[in-house]
Amino acid sequence: MRTSGLRFRDPSAGLARFADDILVGCPACAGPASVRADPDADRPDATWLRRRLICAGCGHTAEWDAPRHGAGRLLPHLTGPDDPYFGLPLWLRTDVRRHVLWAYNARHLTLLEQYVTAELRERGPAVSCCSMTMIEQLPAWMKAAKHRPDLLRAIHRLQDRLL
């Protein structure tokens, strides 16, 4: 989706809202593979504890289990430009000047495009006292107007990787 929106309103979605489907480079064939909640997870609350990598291109699969820590389990800090579970390079990542632009999936990339394109950026409804939205977490270089042309070119490069 190519947008030329003037006004952007933060939908107040945290990065976790984009982590349900993470595109990575397949370690077996280097094509695009998908990291999702384990479809065989026995309980709904287990979806964050087990992840499965599936490559539609070569059939490679891998499992990730949240490591145990005392009585609990450790969940990774959600970030990039590698996927937080397997540590594989995200499929949607590219250099912009001396930085790396990355996105988990097409939805994530579309929201970044809408943000970068917008002339006017508005905050969304507050989510909670202690969590930031994906947009609020963006680094300063992505918010700078002077980087807009480079960022849009990079976003379009990544969109081409989704075709």
Q: By CB under 5 A, name the one of 15, 24, 26, 92 that touches Zn ion.
A: 26
Comparing CB distances to Zn ion, the nearer of 28 and 118 is 28
Binding string, residues 92-131; x marks residues near Zn ion by CB under 5 A: ----------------------------------------
Comparing CB distances to Zn ion, the nearer of 11 and 31 is 31
Comparing CB distances to Zn ion, the nearer of 63 and 136 is 63
The residues near 41 (Cβ < 8 Å, ≥ 6 apart) are 47, 49, 50
The residues near 46 (Cβ < 8 Å, ≥ 6 apart) are 38
For position 57 contacting Zn ion by CB under 5 A, the verdict is yes
Q: By CB under 5 A, name the one of 53, 55, 112, 116 that touches Zn ion.
A: 55
What is the Rg, in whole angstroms, of the alpha carbon atoms belonging to the chain?
17
